[in-house]
């Protein structure tokens, strides 16, 4: 299997950048909030007397810390996934060389 050419990689990178920027330019007044906040608002609207089943063990001191922890979790998860993929590709290449 041949890797992507230089132009293909460049086009993929441009597409990813455009996919990240276009939504911000199209709807400038939009609030990009998470699904948790939207779900909480909908539950409060449907059942105002609802009580959660449990509370958080640790409450982050600010929204920035919460975002940092979420990004760290995503980075660790993607690192594990891509390490596994790289390991499997390495095993396959090693088997082909033997």
What pLDDT does 97 receive? Answer: 87
The reported pTM is 0.51
CB 60 within 8 A of CB 69: yes
Tell whether 45 and 11 lie within a shared domain.
Answer: yes
Report which secondary-structure segment, H or E, holds 47: none
What pLDDT does 42 receive? Answer: 92
Q: What share of the chain is helix, strand, coil (3-state, %, to 5)?
A: 70, 0, 30
Tens of pLDDT along the chain (98 residues) come to 567 788 998 999 999 999 989 988 888 887 777 777 788 889 999 999 988 888 888 888 888 888 899 899 999 999 999 999 999 999 999 998 87
The residue range of the domain holding 74 is 69-97
Q: Is residue 74 part of a domain?
A: yes
What pLDDT does 28 receive? Answer: 80
Q: If you compute the radius of gyration of the chain from its CA atoms, what whole number of angstroms results?
A: 21
**Long-range contacts: 88-92, Cβ < 8 Å, 24+?**
none
Tell whether 13 and 46 lie within a shared domain.
Answer: yes
Tell whether 78 and 43 lie within a shared domain.
Answer: no
Q: Is residue 41 part of a domain?
A: yes
Q: Is residue 76 part of a domain?
A: yes
């Amino acid at each position: 299997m041949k890797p992507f050419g230089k132009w293909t990689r460049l086009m993929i990178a441009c597409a990813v950048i455009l996919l990240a920027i276009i939504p911000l330019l199209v709807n400038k007044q939009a609030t990009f909030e998470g699904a948790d906040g939207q779900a909480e608002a909908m539950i409060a609207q449907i059942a105002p007397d609802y009580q959660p089943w449990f509370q958080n063990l640790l409450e982050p001191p600010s929204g920035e810390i919460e975002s940092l922890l979420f990004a760290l979790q995503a980075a660790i998860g993607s690192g594990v996934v891509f390490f596994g993929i790289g390991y499997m590709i390495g095993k396959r290449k090693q088997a082909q060389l033997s």
